[in-house]
Amino acid sequence: MITPLVILVRPQMGENIGASARAMLNFGLTGLRLVEPRDGWPNAKAGAMAAGASQVIDGARVFGSVEEAVSDCAYVLATTARQRGVFVPVHEPEDAAGRLVAHAQDGLRTAVLFGGEKSGLSTDDLAFADAILTVPVNPQFSSLNLAQAVLLVAYEWSRAAGSGERFESPYDQTPAGRESTEGMITHLFNALEATGYFYPEAKRPTLERNLRTMLTHAKLTEAETRLFRGVVRQLARRQDEGT
């Protein structure tokens, strides 16, 4: 699958370009394009900040305009918090990532435009986009750091494409079956019986019902029921040793 290009338009600080490169490679994106970088290119500060993402920095291409940078792209998203009168569809990150993946699966090149640190993308820049990508952030403080914005979009792309390494819990997450849950509850009731907990006898049905409801609603896993029974077993053993 063709991964989307990240196009940084008039980026100012080399450190932000380097941090963006790192964010890209974290999620498998390697195509970086720069439009009129303020401090020229190559940039030593960008290389230093990129650390292990030198392949992204080394492969970066520089263009004189947004039009040139997107000339070979079939679908372009522009990241901005403001539409500025440009009448194109607006998507949030998850939806936008899905659209990028759909175009990529058709073998089409895609790109995401990110504006410079000072003023973002201009209205003229947005004219080259097929849609706007906006993040539902705090309206009183909507500005994202350049690398943060790249990281967010790259992450959503990875999720939509199914390309990221998924975390697998080392613990058994199998929900406890009815038999396991009932066995645990019976074990607890027997242990409590030995301590005289169900006193007076008239209150026993209510106490048992409340305990059963609580433990059933806890939705324990098989591993958790075994742990719970181990605790009950040890407490009962100590009770026997003390009598």
Domain map of the chain by residue range? 5-161, 178-242
For tokens 């650390």, the residue is 51
Q: What is the pLDDT of residue 238?
A: 81
User: What is the structure's pLDDT at 83?
Assistant: 59
The answer on pLDDT for 87 being more than 90 is no
| Averaged pLDDT for residues 154-170 | 76
Check whether 184 has a pLDDT greater than 60.
Answer: yes
Lowest mean pLDDT segment, chosen from 104-108, 164-168, 202-206: 164-168
pLDDT at residue 180 is higher than 70: yes
Q: Does domain 5-161 have CATH number 3.30.70.2190?
A: no
What pLDDT does residue 150 have? 96
What pLDDT, on a 0 to 100 scale, did the predictor assign at position 59? 95
pLDDT, the chain, mean: 90
Quick: pLDDT tens for 193-237.
Answer: 988 899 899 999 999 999 999 999 999 999 999 999 999 999 888
Residue 85: pLDDT over 80: no
Per-residue model confidence (pLDDT) at position 82: 65
pLDDT at 240 exceeding the cut of 90: no
Give the predicted TM-score (pTM) of the model. 0.70
Give the residue carrying structure tokens 């790259």. Answer: 154
User: Is residue 166's pLDDT more than 90?
Assistant: no
Look at residue 162 in the predicted model and tell me its pLDDT. 86
Please answer whether residues 49 and 14 qualify as being in contact, where contact means their C-beta atoms are separated by less than 8 angstroms.
Answer: yes
Whether the pLDDT of residue 74 is over 80: the answer is: yes
172 — pLDDT class (breaks 50, 70, 90): confident
Higher pLDDT, 142 or 144: 144
pLDDT for residue 67:
96
